[in-house]
């Protein structure tokens, strides 16, 4: 089967969606299928793409509105030509806007079935776009719901998200397919070696966290709670893996607490270094409420690291309170989080018990099993289209709603128009076009 992925973020960008797309791409290719990934340019992508076939990059504005995301510049003819040459059997969109728009248009033009994975609670990211996030949150929810209803099938990464988007009005079939984890890979990390490289005493209790360090991840809450717990336990360290705009704020919290020497900011890690970092941790902490699946939680559990987290979509499907860690109420105060964490540090036998259960949990999220589930969804979707002979473009009312949403979206990002114009001009210069085109 030939599958075409459209995504707003892909490697070497470090983030949940990029990693999910990468994992499914690799696993589907390993199963003998071809996957074409269409994604925006991103710093360092040239080196990455040299080692990967069937990746097509489109021009994009880098570091959109101070974030680490790229925003593509519309280039429909370039994309059309690439997709027509590839001749896919199915289109899989990983976002409802920007590259998602291109995915929808191409699926309609080529009369192909369209799958959409609802990776993200988009309303939690509106602070990157608008100064009035409430209005933008309503718009983001409207856009993703209506986009989903223009697709043949929708993938939800967790049962919580499936239930949420159905309640919001998604009426097409929704399948729950989380991103898989390579349990064997993370289980074989060398935590002792990682500690040696970082100059960490082997007897220290490491409280860990991994992810993009951004406001939507609730990191001020997490850092404050962890710092309070560490004040009660002198042999603890906080290991933070990742980078982003909240890194400075985390450092400031530890400075004010007099704990700057016990904070380790390891930066972005990949491959074996990432597996080693997980294995160096004794407990993994997580406070985000904006996730749709617990991918970093299952990775930590594969390394035998139990989890302490706030109840949220994607988290509750992975974390079984009192079995493989501790799940606190979503509205738990920082002090409550800190007290539970401090208690866990002083209960090594309980943490060891949770660790064994964590490994068992991770085994249920096998990448091979979940990629096979995705393939069955593709086959069922293609088969259903052929059986009913339904290759009409779409209901005109839904299509008009989508076009209106796209126009509103474009109006909301006019604050970066200058950057877009400059990027287009740079692209024209590289292409050798004159001012008349």
Burial bucket for residue 407 (CB in 10 Å: 0-12, 13-18, 19+)? exposed
| Residue 319 sits in the same domain as residue 339 | yes
Q: Which domain holds residue 377?
A: 2-180+367-431
Q: Report the predicted TM-score, pTM, of the whole model to 2 decimal places.
A: 0.78
Q: Are 204 and 277 found together in one domain?
A: yes
Domain shared by 155 and 264, yes or no: no
Residues 6+ apart with CB under 8 A from 127: 133, 215, 216
Chosen domain end from 336, 363, 390: 363
Q: Looking at the structure, tell me whether residues 276 and 135 fall in a common domain.
A: no
Rounded CA-CA distance 274/254 in Å is 24
pLDDT at site 40: 86
As given in the structure block, the two tokens for residue 25 are 């791409």
Q: Is 437 among the domain residues? A: no
CATH of the domain at 272: 3.40.50.2000
Confidence at residue 240, expressed as pLDDT on a 0 to 100 scale: 98
Cβ atoms of residues 185 and 278 within 8 Å: no
Kindly state whether residues 324 and 424 are assigned to the same domain.
no
- Domain final residue, candidates 312, 330, 363: 363
Identify the pLDDT of residue 50.
61
Residue 332 lies in a domain: yes
The rounded Cα 342 to chain-centroid distance in angstroms is 30
> What are the mean pLDDT values of the chain's consecutive 10-residue runs (437 residues total)?
94 81 95 94 71 81 46 64 95 90 89 92 52 63 87 93 92 95 95 97 97 91 98 97 95 97 95 97 95 90 98 93 97 98 96 96 93 96 75 51 53 43 46 44
**pLDDT by residue (tens digit) across 36-85?**
999 988 777 776 666 677 999 887 654 444 444 444 445 556 789 999 99
Q: Are residues 92 and 206 in the same domain?
A: no
Say yes or no: 116 and 196 in one domain. Answer: no
Q: Answer yes or no: is 317 within a domain.
A: yes
- 282 & 249 share domain: yes
Q: Are residues 143 and 226 in the same domain?
A: no
Closest-CA residue to 112 (of 426, 378, 402, 424): 378
Q: Are 197 and 318 found together in one domain?
A: yes
Residue 391 is predicted with a pLDDT of 53
Q: Which of 98, 123, 82 is nearest to 40 (CA)?
A: 98
Check whether residue 165 and residue 221 sit in a common domain: no
Q: How many domains does the chain have?
A: 2
């Amino acid at each position: 089967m030939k599958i075409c992925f459209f995504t707003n973020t892909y490697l070497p960008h470090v983030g949940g969606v990029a990693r999910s797309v990468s994992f499914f791409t690799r696993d589907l290719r390993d199963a003998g299928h071809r996957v074409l990934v269409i994604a925006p340019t991103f710093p360092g992508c040239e080196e990455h793409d040299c080692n990967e076939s069937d990746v097509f990059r489109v021009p994009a504005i880098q570091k959109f509105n101070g974030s680490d995301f790229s925003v593509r510049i519309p280039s429909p003819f370039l994309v059309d030509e690439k997709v027509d040459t590839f001749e896919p059997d199915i289109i899989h969109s990983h976002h409802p806007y920007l590259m998602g728009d291109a995915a929808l248009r191409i699926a309609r033009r080529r009369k192909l079935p369209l799958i959409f994975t609802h990776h993200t609670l988009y309303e939690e990211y509106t602070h990157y776009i608008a100064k009035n996030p409430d209005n933008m949150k309503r718009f983001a929810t409207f856009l993703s719901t209506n986009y989903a209803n223009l697709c043949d099938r929708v993938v939800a990464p967790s049962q919580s998200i499936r239930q949420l988007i159905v309640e919001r009005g998604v009426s097409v079939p929704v399948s729950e397919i989380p991103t898989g984890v390579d349990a064997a890979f993370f289980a074989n990390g060398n935590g002792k070696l990682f500690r040696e490289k970082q100059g960490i005493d082997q007897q220290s209790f490491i409280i860990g966290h991994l992810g993009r360090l951004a406001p939507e991840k609730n990191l001020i809450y997490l850092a404050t709670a962890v710092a309070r717990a560490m004040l009660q336990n002198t042999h603890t360290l906080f290991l933070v893996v990742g980078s982003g705009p909240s890194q400075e704020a985390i450092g400031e919290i530890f400075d004010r607490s007099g704990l700057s020497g016990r904070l380790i900011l390891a930066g972005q890690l990949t491959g074996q270094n990432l597996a080693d970092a997980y294995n160096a941790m004794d407990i993994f902490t997580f406070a985000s409420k904006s996730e749709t699946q617990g991918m970093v939680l299952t990775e930590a559990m594969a390394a035998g690291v139990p989890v302490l987290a706030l109840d949220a979509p994607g988290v509750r499907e992975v974390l079984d309170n009192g079995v493989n860690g501790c799940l606190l109420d979503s509205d738990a105060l920082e002090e409550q989080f800190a007290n539970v964490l401090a208690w866990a540090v002083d209960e090594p036998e309980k943490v060891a018990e949770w660790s064994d259960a964590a490994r068992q949990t991770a085994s249920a999220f096998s990448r091979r099993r979940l990629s096979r589930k995705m393939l069955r969804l593709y086959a069922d979707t293609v088969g259903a289209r052929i059986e009913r002979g339904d290759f009409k473009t779409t209901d005109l009312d839904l299509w008009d709603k989508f076009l209106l949403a796209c126009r509103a979206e474009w109006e909301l990002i006019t604050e970066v128009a200058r950057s877009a114009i400059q990027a287009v001009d740079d692209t024209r210069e590289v292409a050798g076009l004159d001012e008349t085109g």
